[in-house]
Amino acid sequence: MSTNQIRKWGNSAAIRLSSEALNQACFSVDQIVSIKASKGRIIIEAVQPAYDLDKMLASVEKSPRTQYQPHTKRIGAEIIKW
């Protein structure tokens, strides 16, 4: 645990977080967090992103180029003949 001082930053107040504190909390710079406050306590928690399957699928390119392309040469045992 470390101590720090609340300082003025423009019209707001700020506390600097050390890289060690960020690493221990598994936070990163520019990460979205939620802040909850009560008397004598401030809690900072990571915000889990909300994924929207329809939006994710809409971003996938719809062209013949997106078909599966093997990254290795076919040897023969993996080919299924009907």
At 52 the pLDDT is: 87
At 38 the pLDDT is: 95
Using alpha carbons, select from 12, 46, 21, 15 the residue that is nearest to residue 32: 46
Check: CB of residue 29 under 8 Å from CB of residue 16: no
Check: CB of residue 15 under 8 Å from CB of residue 4: yes
Domains of the chain as residue ranges with CATH:
7-62 (2.10.260.10)
> What does the alpha-carbon distance between residue 35 and residue 42 come to, in Å, rounded to a whole number?
7
Res. 75: pLDDT tops 70: no
Q: Tens of pLDDT along 18-67?
A: 999 999 999 999 999 999 999 999 999 999 888 888 888 888 777 666 56
At 76 the pLDDT is: 63
At 7 the pLDDT is: 95
> What does the alpha-carbon distance between residue 16 and residue 11 come to, in Å, rounded to a whole number?
16
Query: For the whole model, what pTM was predicted?
Result: 0.55
At 63 the pLDDT is: 65
Please give the DSSP secondary-structure letter assigned to residue 38: E
